[in-house]
């Protein structure tokens, strides 16, 4: 790694924006030199807290004047597209919050703009580089659980699936892809209470939950879906709407021909073992369960967002793709939105990437008009 200090600008000084600033303090060659927010109160408060005097209410102006190497886009999801597209136009590398965008059409434009400009574009699905995700990949490559047969995504709950889909979904589908590679198809069913979700149940994320973020159109309280990955591995995901969030449920399972691995509570700072091993592919009776924690000895644990910055700088220096690239972020979103498309087609298998690029729920509504 070179001795260069990377000049970073932040667009969006809300909760996650400030989390980035805290993480950047531990990135040796990263320096946040400029802030942008349309809400001046957030801008000033954040500037004072982190001692950053260069402040803007217009990201175009910040891009022109602040001489940035990297911009962090930490606006809510509907607000990712405009600052990311402008950053590409200004030749600035981009670390964008998840999910990449509210629909595949916007994601396509963002990926194409970054490619055309020759800038690095990464989505902050930080568990992609979590030490336990990497350790799981290593254990699988070493043959610990034989051939991988099934990867299962696990949600946190505490939200209706419509909201949790856009807020947590792409973290989970990204981790599934880390284990199984790119997806080939999805088939899913969406429920409202105990009935199938219908067109009249489609709503904006903030209608479903006014306290949640603006992440576009959503549908349903509960979701079950299956995936086929390109290499023949199967996938499944359940988003069950239990009222209480449980971080210890969040993660993924990998089932192989000779055993299983389970990653839970991936969040940095969570106590207790994160990676578990069961030395057989099928559990048998619940009373037979004897999962063993994989000791963390020898695993370097670092907050994954710090790792994301380090790997982004390395990608810039070596001309390689950063982890959780824009193209991967787009597939992570399609694994989620493809469930809506499948549900609309009565659970049919939908090929990924989807042929139609507009939001499936928008299309469903338009067809009925
Ligand atoms: N990676 C993770 O683990 C993780 C965790 C939480 C949130 N997030 C993501 O972070 C993003 C932001 O979430 P949040 O909770 O911080 O939202 P927030 O509402 O707290 O903050 C967003 C900020 O962006 C500002 N803003 C809006 N439009 C703007 C514009 N055009 N230019 C400049 N500033 C603008 C708002 O005024 C606000 O201060 C979301 O996409 C969310 O999904 C990611």
Asked, for residue 369, whether it belongs to a domain, the answer is: no
Q: Is 79 in the pocket of ligand 1 (CB under 6 A)?
A: yes
Residue 94: which domain range? 6-126+304-323
219 and 353 fall within a common domain = yes
Asked, for residue 250, whether it belongs to a domain, the answer is: yes
Asked, for residue 248, whether it belongs to a domain, the answer is: yes
155 and 166 fall within a common domain = yes
Q: Ligand 1 centroid vs 43 CA: distance in angstroms?
A: 13
Q: Ligand 1 centroid vs 79 CA: distance in angstroms?
A: 8
Q: Is 123 in the pocket of ligand 1 (CB under 6 A)?
A: no
Residues 292-333 have pLDDT tens digits of: 999 877 788 889 999 999 999 999 999 999 999 999 999 999
Helix H or strand E encompassing 341: helix 326-344
* pTM > 0.95: yes or no: yes
**Does residue 367 carry a pLDDT above 90?**
no
Q: Is 343 in the pocket of ligand 1 (CB under 6 A)?
A: no
Closest to 74 measured CA to CA, from 163, 119, 14: 14
Closest to 34 measured CA to CA, from 63, 14, 5, 73: 63
264 and 200 fall within a common domain = yes
Residues 28-84 have pLDDT tens digits of: 999 999 999 999 999 999 999 999 999 999 999 999 999 999 999 999 999 999 999
Q: Residue for token digits 């981790």?
A: 175
Q: Ligand 1: which of 20, 22, 75, 216 to mutate, judged by most atoms within 8 Å of the beta carbon? A: 75
Q: Ligand 1 centroid vs 73 CA: distance in angstroms?
A: 8
119 and 29 fall within a common domain = yes
140 and 280 fall within a common domain = yes
Token digits of residue 29? 């060659």
193 and 292 fall within a common domain = yes
Total domains in the chain come to 2
Q: Residue for token digits 């809400």?
A: 39
pLDDT-above-70 percentage for the chain: 98
Q: How far apart are CA 216 and CA 103, in angstroms?
A: 8
Domain with residue 44: its CATH number is: 3.40.50.720
Asked, for residue 368, whether it belongs to a domain, the answer is: no
Asked, for residue 48, whether it belongs to a domain, the answer is: yes
For the chain, give me the number of helices (H) and strands (E)? 12, 18
**Cis-peptide into 353, omega within 30 deg:** yes
**Does residue 269 carry a pLDDT above 60?**
no
Q: Is 74 in the pocket of ligand 1 (CB under 6 A)?
A: yes
Domain with residue 297: its CATH number is: 3.30.360.10
111 and 61 fall within a common domain = yes
135 and 145 fall within a common domain = yes
10 and 106 fall within a common domain = yes
Residue 115's pLDDT band (boundaries 50, 70, 90)?
very high
Asked, for residue 199, whether it belongs to a domain, the answer is: yes
Closest to 169 measured CA to CA, from 324, 350, 332, 27: 332
Q: Is 40 in the pocket of ligand 1 (CB under 6 A)?
A: no
The predicted pLDDT at position 172 comes to 97
What's the rounded mean pLDDT across residues 99-114? 98
Q: Ligand 1 centroid vs 313 CA: distance in angstroms?
A: 23
For residues 120 and 114, the answer to whether their CB atoms sit within 8 Å is yes
**Does residue 227 carry a pLDDT above 60?**
yes
144 and 286 fall within a common domain = yes
Asked, for residue 204, whether it belongs to a domain, the answer is: yes
Asked, for residue 229, whether it belongs to a domain, the answer is: yes
What's the rounded mean pLDDT across residues 215-232? 97
The predicted pLDDT at position 20 comes to 98
Q: Is 97 in the pocket of ligand 1 (CB under 6 A)?
A: yes
Token digits of residue 314? 């390395």
149 and 211 fall within a common domain = yes
Q: Is 37 in the pocket of ligand 1 (CB under 6 A)?
A: yes
91 and 152 fall within a common domain = no
**How far, rounded to the nearest angstrom, does the alpha carbon of residue 242 sit from its chain's CA centroid?**
21
Q: How far apart are CA 58 and CA 11, in angstroms?
A: 9
């Amino acid at each position: 790694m070179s001795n260069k200090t990377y000049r970073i600008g932040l667009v969006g000084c809300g909760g996650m924006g400030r989390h980035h600033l805290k993480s950047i303090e531990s990135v040796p060659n990263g320096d946040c030199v400029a802030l942008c927010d349309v809400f001046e109160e957030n801008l000033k408060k954040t500037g004072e807290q982190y001692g950053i005097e260069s402040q803007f209410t217009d990201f175009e102006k910040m891009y022109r004047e602040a001489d940035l190497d990297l911009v962090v886009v930490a606006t809510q999801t509907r607000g990712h597209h405009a600052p990311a597209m402008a950053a590409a136009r200004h030749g600035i590398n981009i670390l964008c919050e998840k999910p990449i965008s509210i629909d595949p059409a916007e994601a396509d434009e963002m990926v194409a703009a970054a490619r055309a400009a020759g800038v690095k574009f990464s989505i902050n699905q930080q568990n992609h580089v979590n030490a336990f995700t990497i350790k799981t990949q290593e254990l699988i490559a070493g043959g610990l659980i034989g051939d991988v047969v099934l990867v299962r995504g696990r949600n946190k709950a505490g939200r209706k699936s419509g909201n949790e889909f856009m807020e947590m979904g792409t973290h989970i589908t990204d981790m599934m892809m880390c284990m199984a590679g790119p997806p080939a198809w999805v088939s899913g069913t969406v429920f409202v209470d105990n009935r199938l979700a219908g067109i009249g149940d489609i709503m904006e994320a903030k209608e479903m939950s006014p306290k949640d973020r603006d992440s576009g159109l959503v549908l349903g309280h509960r979701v079950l879906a299956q995936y086929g990955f390109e290499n023949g591995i199967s996938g499944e995901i359940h988003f069950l709407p239990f009222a209480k969030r449980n971080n210890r449920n969040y993660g993924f399972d990998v089932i192989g021909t000779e055993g299983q691995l389970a990653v839970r509570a991936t969040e940095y700072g969570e106590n207790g073992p994160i990676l578990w091993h069961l030395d057989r592919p099928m559990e048998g009776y619940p009373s037979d369960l004897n999962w063993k924690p994989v000791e963390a000895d020898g695993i370097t644990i670092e907050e994954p967002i710090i790792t994301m910055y380090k790997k982004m700088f390395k990608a810039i220096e070596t001309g390689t793709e950063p982890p959780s690239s824009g193209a991967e972020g787009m597939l992570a979103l399609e694994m989620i939105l493809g469930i809506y498309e499948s549900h609309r087609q009565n659970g049919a298998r939908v090929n990924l990437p989807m042929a139609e690029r507009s939001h499936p729920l928008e299309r469903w509504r338009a067809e009925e008009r």
